[in-house]
Amino acid sequence: MYPNLEHIIAYYLGVNVGYSEDEAVTRIRDSLSQNSSLAISYRNELSTALAETEFSWKDTFSRYEAFDADTEEEARSYAREFLWDTVLNG
């Protein structure tokens, strides 16, 4: 549904990758700065997914073992705070 966004979650936030949040932020920002089309797609997909009430952040984070949220609201809040506020605007 959101291939670039899911790529970022899987390859930088997944527990099997082993990055701390600070390391993940640095690596995601580096990746986005080196590939402008990825950066544009990531921003667009993230914006759309955050606005889409049917998209399950909890399921997405769970699928990639990236963040263990108890509720959909907690997962959505983490996505907004970490993936948007910290990664894009931090």
Q: Model confidence at 20, in pLDDT bands (50, 70, 90)?
A: very high
pLDDT, tens digit, 9 for 90 and up, residues 31-50: 999 999 999 999 999 999 99
**Distant-in-sequence contacts of 16-20, Cβ < 8 A, 24+ apart:** 16/65
Residue type, 4: N
Residue 89 pLDDT: 87
Closest CA to 55 of 86, 76, 84, 38: 76
Cα–Cα distance, 68 to 89 (Å, whole number): 23
- Helix, strand and coil percent figures for the chain, each rounded to 5: 75, 0, 25
Residue 25 has pLDDT above 80, yes or no: yes
pLDDT, tens digit, 9 for 90 and up, residues 49-89: 999 999 999 999 999 999 999 999 999 999 999 999 999 88
